[in-house]
Amino acid sequence: MALPATQRGGARPSAAASAAAAAARQSANAPTTGERLTALAKTAQFYWWVGHLVVLSFGLTYYMKRLLFSGGANWYYSQAYLGALTSYAIVIYKTYGPPQANLAFMQRLLVDENVEYLMLATYWYWNSPVFVTLVPFVVFSLFHVITYTRSVAIPLFFPEVTGEIQRARQAESTAGGSAAGGVLMSVPARASKYMGDWSSRYYSPALREVGVWEVAVIGVWLVVGALTLQSPFLAPVFYVQFLRMRYALSAPTRAAFRRVRIWLDKLLTPPQASPHVPGVVTDSYVKGRDYLVQLGNAMVNPAVPQQQQQQQQQRQ
């Protein structure tokens, strides 16, 4: 009589059992959460994220204390800018490496928006607090913190989240965009997916509003503050140079200037303007607006003023 299979040397394991065994061995060899966290803490990107987390948390605390007339708000203001300095310095170093004493290196730095914001944050850090200046940095940090948290921090503690979100995205596309196509997800996966969807929806509108804030609110605040001796006299001068660089290099900043100009045109020029607006105000605004438009065109396209001068000379 033939022996049972188990007595003839053992039955061959099934494919499912082999896969389970391989998965078990891989799980046993996989680094623990503590090991992954230790490795993450050795990366520059981790400290970049910490810097933005400082900006976000300390910046919001500063505004809460100011609005509630609580003491010690200025300390949170300076710490928020210290976090900004850390984050921008890290990203600049990762991009360009150690400083180099040559003209080409300096030219690359001067056209980098991270360098521009690093210089601006340095100025605000070393000067007395100006209430409105921290808003753009807080908004930027909010989106940076969300992006890093959902793409790195959450998968660090919950590795299965990435697969869950991929399956949910596939189900959504199959179901024609319905909510996750009925796929059940864990709480960390739902939180990560919500952060990703929220960031994608509001990132561009937030940047547009920040651009207007930088042009209209901060600029006007600094000029009025300097005239009333509430802010440093050189602050608007320094900030104008920052806006000049942003206008020359950033399409969103130019769009923000256009939005502000359209709003002022409706407010101060006929036929939209109120008839109670004095004519001298309208004339002064139009002259100032046209002058700034010429300056802006010259910064974006330096050949335009030369062509205009040549045309004027030909007419003469």
Q: Kindly report, residue by residue over 225-254, the tens digit of the pLDDT.
A: 999 988 888 999 999 999 999 998 889 999
| Residue partners of 133: CB distance under 8 A and separation at least 6 | 124, 218
Q: How far is CA 300 from CA 16, 97, 159, 210, in A?
A: 64, 29, 47, 21
Burial 247-284 (b: 16+ CB within 10 A, else e): bebeeebbebbebbeeebeeebbeeebeeeeeeeeeee
Mean pLDDT across 69-84? 94
Four-residue CA torsion sign, 230, 222, 237, 292: negative
Do 128 and 73 contact (CB within 8 A), yes or no? no
User: Does residue 89 contact residue 52 with C-beta atoms inside 8 Å?
Assistant: no
Q: At a CB cut-off of 8 Å and minimum separation 6, what does 88 contact?
A: 51, 114, 115, 117, 118, 121
Q: Is the pLDDT of residue 125 over 70?
A: yes
Q: How far does Cα 228 stand from its chain's mean position?
A: 32
Mean pLDDT of 279-304: 81
Cα dihedral across residues 133, 134, 139, 144: positive or negative = positive
Highest mean predicted confidence (pLDDT) among 99-108, 140-149, 176-185 = 140-149
d(CA 105, CA 93) in angstroms, rounded, equals: 12
Examine the pLDDT at 149 and tell me if it is beyond 50. Answer: yes
Question: Quick one: residue 31, left, alpha or beta (phi over 0 = left, psi -120 to 50 = alpha)?
Answer: beta
**pLDDT 10s digits, 170-201:** 887 776 655 544 568 899 999 999 999 999 99
Q: How far is the C-alpha of 142 from the C-alpha of 53, rounded, in Å?
A: 8
* Whole-number pLDDT of residue 85: 98
Asked if 76 contacts 59 with a C-beta cutoff of 8 angstroms, the reply is yes
Length, in residues, of the chain: 316
pLDDT at 101: 86
Do 61 and 134 touch, CB atoms closer than 8 A?
A: no
- pLDDT of 3 higher than 70: no
Question: DSSP letters along 191-249, please?
Answer: HHHHHHHHHHHHHHHHHHHHHHIIIIIIHHHHHHHHHTTSS-TTHHHHHHHHHHHHHHH
pLDDT at 162 over 70: yes
Q: Residue 25 has what pLDDT?
A: 53
Domain locations in the chain?
Answer: 38-157
Q: pTM value?
A: 0.83
DSSP 53: H
Q: Tell me what pLDDT residue 53 has.
A: 97
- Note the pLDDT of residue 205: 95
Are the beta carbons of 136 and 214 closer than 8 angstroms? yes
